Structure 1
Amino acid sequence: MKAQFRLIALAFFIISTHLLSSCSSPKQTETVTGEKPNVIIILADQWRAQEVGYMGNTQVKTPNLDKLASQSLVFENAITTMSVCAPFRASLLTGQYPLTHGVFYNDKPLPNEALTMAEIYKENGYATGYIGKWHLNGHARGQTYNDSRGVPVPKDRRQGFDYWKGREVSHNYNNSFYFDENDVKHTWEGYDAFPQTDSAISYIQKNKEHPFVLMLSYGSPHDPYFTAPKEYQDMYNAADLKVRDNVPLAFQDSARNVMAGYYAHISALDFAIGNLIDALDKAGISDNTILVFSSDHGDMLMSKGVLKKQRPYDESIKVPMLIRYPDKLGRASRRIIDPIGTPDILPTLLGLSDIQKPSTFEGKDFSKELEDGKDLGNEATLIMLPVPFHEWKFSNGGREYRGIRTKQYTYAKDLKGAWLLFDDEKDPFQENNLVDKPEYKELQAKLDGILLQKLKEVNDTFLPADEYMTQWNYLYDMNDSLRVANYLELNR
Structure 2
Amino acid sequence: MTGPDPNRNETGRAATATRPSFIVFMTDQQRADHLGCYGNPVVRTPHIDAIAERGVRFENVFTATPICQPNRASLITGQMPSVNGCRQNGIPVSLDSTTVADVLRAAGYRTGLVGKAHFQNVSPVPASPRALRGRGNDPVPPYETARRDQRTGPEYGAETRMAWARDPGRQIPLPYYGFEHVRLCIGHGDQVEGHYSGWLQERLNGAPDPRGRAQALPDDTSEAPQIWRTALPEDLYPTAYIAEEACAFLQETDERPFFLVVSFPDPHHPFTPPGRYFDLYDPDAIALPASFAHPTGAREDLPDSLLQGYARGDADRDAYWPFHADADTTRRMIALNYGAITMIDDRIGQVLAALDAVGRADDTVLCVMSDHGDYMGDHGTMLKHGLHTRGVINVPFLWADPQGAQGRVSRLHGSAIDFAPTVL
CA distance in 1, matches of 2:161, 2:399: 30
Could you say what secondary structure the match of 1:323 adopts?
Answer: strand
**Would the aligned equivalents of 1:112 and 1:156 in 2 still touch at CA under 8 Å?**
no
Q: Which residue of 1 aligns with 2:409?
A: 335
Deviation at 1:230, TM superposition (A): 2.2
**Would the aligned equivalents of 2:56 and 2:409 in 1 still touch at CA under 8 Å?**
yes
Q: Which residue of 2 aligns with 1:56?
A: 39
**Percent identity among equivalent residues?**
30
Q: Which residue of 2 aligns with 1:134?
A: 117
Deviation at 1:148, TM superposition (A): 2.5
**1:260 aligned to 2:335?**
yes
CA distance in 1, matches of 2:254, 2:174: 26
**Would the aligned equivalents of 2:189 and 2:273 in 1 still touch at CA under 8 Å?**
no
**1:162 aligned to 2:180?**
yes
2:190 to 167, 173, 187: 173
Could you say what secondary structure the match of 1:196 adopts?
Answer: helix
**1:287 aligned to 2:333?**
no
CA distance in 2, matches of 1:325, 1:216: 17
**1:316 aligned to 2:332?**
no
1:43-122 to 2 correspondence within 5 Å?
43-122=26-105
TM-score, normalization: structure 2? 0.69
Q: Which residue of 2 aligns with 1:487?
A: none
**Would the aligned equivalents of 1:45 and 1:220 in 2 still touch at CA under 8 Å?**
yes
CA distance in 2, matches of 1:150, 1:107: 15
CA distance in 2, matches of 1:116, 1:301: 32
TM-score, normalization: structure 1? 0.60
Deviations 1:153-196 (CA, angstroms, capped at 9, x unpaired): 731682111111114x312437x43239xxx9443861111121
**Would the aligned equivalents of 1:107 and 1:136 in 2 still touch at CA under 8 Å?**
no
CA distance in 2, matches of 1:104, 1:295: 18
Q: Which amino acid aligns with 2:160?
A: S
Q: Which residue of 1 aligns with 2:134?
A: none
**Would the aligned equivalents of 1:177 and 1:186 in 2 still touch at CA under 8 Å?**
no
Unaligned runs of 5+ in 1: 1-25, 351-492
**1:346 aligned to 2:392?**
no
- Return closer, same or farther for 1:153/1:346 CA change in 2, 3 Å cut-off: farther
CA distance in 2, matches of 1:231, 1:289: 32
Instruction: Please provide the CA RMSD for this pair.
Output: 2.6
Deviations 1:383-408 (CA, angstroms, capped at 9, x unpaired): xxxxxxxxxxxxxxxxxxxxxxxxxx
- Return closer, same or farther for 1:78/1:135 CA change in 2, 3 Å cut-off: same
**Would the aligned equivalents of 1:197 and 1:273 in 2 still touch at CA under 8 Å?**
yes
Deviations 1:227-280 (CA, angstroms, capped at 9, x unpaired): 112211221110111111001188322210110111110110010011112222
Could you say what secondary structure the match of 1:187 adopts?
Answer: helix
CA distance in 2, matches of 1:284, 1:117: 25
- Return closer, same or farther for 1:111/1:153 CA change in 2, 3 Å cut-off: farther
**Would the aligned equivalents of 1:112 and 1:157 in 2 still touch at CA under 8 Å?**
no
CA distance in 1, matches of 2:74, 2:171: 19
**Would the aligned equivalents of 2:368 and 2:397 in 1 still touch at CA under 8 Å?**
yes
Deviations 1:104-131 (CA, angstroms, capped at 9, x unpaired): 1112111111000111001100111111
Q: Which residue of 2 aligns with 1:235?
A: 280
**Would the aligned equivalents of 2:116 and 2:184 in 1 still touch at CA under 8 Å?**
yes
Could you say what secondary structure the match of 1:166 adopts?
Answer: strand
CA distance in 2, matches of 1:261, 1:276: 23
- Return closer, same or farther for 1:186/1:29 CA change in 2, 3 Å cut-off: closer
Relative contact order (C-alpha < 8 Å, sep 6+): which is higher?
2
Deviation at 1:142, TM superposition (A): 3.3
- Return closer, same or farther for 1:153/1:102 CA change in 2, 3 Å cut-off: farther
CA distance in 2, matches of 1:207, 1:349: 24
Deviations 1:407-461 (CA, angstroms, capped at 9, x unpaired): xxxxxxxxxxxxxxxxxxxxxxxxxxxxxxxxxxxxxxxxxxxxxxxxxxxxxxx
CA distance in 2, matches of 1:103, 1:203: 29
Deviation at 1:31, TM superposition (A): 7.9
**Would the aligned equivalents of 1:52 and 1:61 in 2 still touch at CA under 8 Å?**
yes
**Would the aligned equivalents of 1:173 and 1:220 in 2 still touch at CA under 8 Å?**
no
Could you say what secondary structure the match of 2:326 adopts?
Answer: helix
Q: Which residue of 2 aligns with 1:214?
A: 260
Q: Which residue of 2 aligns with 1:148?
A: 160
How many equivalent pairs are there?
Answer: 316
Q: Which residue of 1 aligns with 2:147?
A: none
Q: Which residue of 2 aligns with 1:325?
A: 401
**1:192 aligned to 2:238?**
yes
- Return closer, same or farther for 1:60/1:172 CA change in 2, 3 Å cut-off: closer
CA distance in 2, matches of 1:91, 1:148: 21
**Would the aligned equivalents of 2:373 and 2:384 in 1 still touch at CA under 8 Å?**
yes
Could you say what secondary structure the match of 1:76 adopts?
Answer: strand
Deviations 1:117-151 (CA, angstroms, capped at 9, x unpaired): 1110011001111111121122664379x992333
CA distance in 1, matches of 2:253, 2:71: 28
**Would the aligned equivalents of 1:177 and 1:187 in 2 still touch at CA under 8 Å?**
no
Unaligned runs of 5+ in 2: 1-6, 130-151, 164-169, 204-235, 295-324
CA distance in 2, matches of 1:236, 1:59: 8
Deviations 1:5-49 (CA, angstroms, capped at 9, x unpaired): xxxxxxxxxxxxxxxxxxxxx9884489x5421111111000100
CA distance in 2, matches of 1:343, 1:53: 26
- Return closer, same or farther for 1:106/1:207 CA change in 2, 3 Å cut-off: farther
Q: Which amino acid aligns with 2:328?
A: D
